[in-house]
Amino acid sequence: MSLNCLRVVPHSLKKPRFFHLSYLRSSSSSSSSAVIVAMSYTKELAAAKKAASLAAHLCQKVQKALLQSDVQSKNDKSPVTVADYGSQALVSFALQQEFPADFSLVAEEDSEDLRKDGAQETVERITKLVNESITNDGSYNVTLSTEDVLKAIDSGRSEGGSQGRHWVLDPIDGTKGFLRGDQYAIALALLDGGKVVLGVLACPNLPLTSIGAAGQHSPNNEVGCLFFAEVGGGTYMQPLDGSSAVKVQVTAVENPEEASFFESYEAAHSMHDLSSLIAQKLGVKAPPVRIDSQAKYGALSRGDGAIYLRFPHKGYREKIWDHAAGCIVVTEAGGVVTDAAGKPLDFSRGKYLDLDTGIIVTNQKLMPLLFSAVRESIKEKAASL
Ligand SMILES: Nc1ncnc2c1ncn2[C@@H]1O[C@H](COP(=O)(O)OS(=O)(=O)O)[C@@H](OP(=O)(O)O)[C@H]1O
Ligand SMILES: [Mg+2]
Ligand SMILES: [Mg+2]
Ligand SMILES: [Mg+2]
């Protein structure tokens, strides 16, 4: 595989462990001295990579054989497929096997529609897919019943928050892209005390080499990337087939004229007119790269593009599972993720992100210029309405 677009550092040469530092006040002392507790998430990261990879294989299989009956519509009219449910059941099952005592999951899907009359066939199909994945993997000697699968899906009903540990899962991010045969991601993160401490993004259709400019795809079009990051430990990418990982970094581009930007494929998800105004102010020359899902964060983390702009239409509330994994993948690769007011995203407030207007992502050098262009453009747009 050619990785000439990346700054390559073999994962095996990674520096000794980085730690997430928590400060605990000593209860036996009234002084303000703090005890530093070194936290590492090695076991959690390994479990997350495994769970996301298992789910990615299930999704690949379903995408290959997409049948009309595999798609349902949720109450909010967004699509959901047997792959979304199967992926959620599988990730939930795999994580519970590793962490049976302390398990909390905030995930996108629930079993409500699957428990309605007429859904039995769909539930059986999901159960078959999940059991096939478990059997192929070989690490778990169990067969799940339909009720086990529904329960596994429903264990994603946690509300998250600022206390304790919570897994955050989007079983398929970019379901519309998945249905089109385009980009999607299995996005899994862990919150500890309200902060994202690790993230994994499995992107089964993302080329292993840059998607930044036309014609730079790997010659044999190899696809399937797994991005992973742990707080303080950098971001790595490896092929989904399990070959070795390389360290990735966001682009070092400082001149906005040389920057390219990503945005949602779906115009309903982000105001493309506002992004183009911002790009124009910055002097960005390249046209937007529109791709589905958190694959945008993955691509940005390895420098395929320099900027990600996301401005949902008025009234939409962003969910934590649409950004938690992507956010740490980019920040650990040296990038910056903020809302349109320049504030870091706050994952500690439950299912929703409480944001000002939108989300902007770029490298440290470009952020001040991008931020000014965003503020000016928002003002201009508001004045023109
Ligand atoms: N109205 C609206 N505004 C903003 N965002 C929305 C909206 N509706 C949905 N969603 C969420 O967008 C998720 C898909 O991510 P993207 O917007 O990056 O992908 S896409 O390019 O538009 O397909 C998508 O994630 P999935 O549902 O997991 O596919 C949604 O959570
Ligand atoms: Mg959805
Ligand atoms: Mg999503
Ligand atoms: Mg989803």
For each of the domains in the chain, give its residue range(s) and CATH number, in order of start: 2-39 (no CATH), 42-248 (3.30.540.10), 256-384 (3.40.190.80)
Q: How far is residue 31 from each of residues 21, 23, 27, 35, 37, measured CA to CA in Å?
A: 20, 14, 9, 11, 18
Please list the pLDDT of the chain residue by residue as tens digits (385 residues): 333 333 333 444 344 344 444 433 333 333 444 444 567 999 999 999 999 999 999 999 999 887 666 777 788 778 889 999 999 999 999 999 999 998 999 999 999 999 999 999 999 999 999 999 999 999 999 999 999 999 999 999 999 999 999 999 999 999 999 999 999 999 999 999 999 999 999 999 999 999 975 444 555 679 999 999 999 999 999 999 989 999 999 999 999 999 999 999 999 999 999 999 999 999 999 999 999 999 999 999 999 999 999 999 999 999 999 999 999 999 999 999 999 999 999 999 999 999 989 999 999 999 999 999 999 999 999 998 8
- Lookup: tokens for 219: 């010659």
**DSSP result, 214-271:** TT-S-TT--EEEEEEEETTS-EEEEETT----EEE-------GGG--EEE-SSTTTS-
- Lookup: tokens for 271: 């105001």
Q: Please identify which of the residues 81, 122, 127, 175 carries the catalytic annotation.
A: 175
Q: Please identify which of the residues 84, 170, 304, 322 carries the catalytic annotation.
A: 84
pTM for this one? 0.91
Instruction: Report whether 24 contacts 35 (CB < 8 A).
Output: yes
Question: Closest Cα to residue 150, out of 69, 189, 92?
Answer: 92
Q: Measure the CA–CA gap between 297 and 46, rounded to whole angstroms.
A: 21
Q: Measure the CA–CA gap between 253 and 265, rounded to whole angstroms.
A: 24
Instruction: Report whether 259 contacts 282 (CB < 8 A).
Output: yes
Task: Give bridge partners of residue 331 from the DSSP assignment.
Answer: none
State whether the beta carbon of 266 lies less than 6 angstroms from ligand 1: yes
The sign one gets for the Cα dihedral 184, 234, 304, 5 is negative
User: How much distance in Å is there from the Cα of 58 to the middle of ligand 4?
Assistant: 15
Catalytic, 84? Answer yes
ipTM of the predicted structure?
0.96
Radius of gyration of the chain (CA): 21
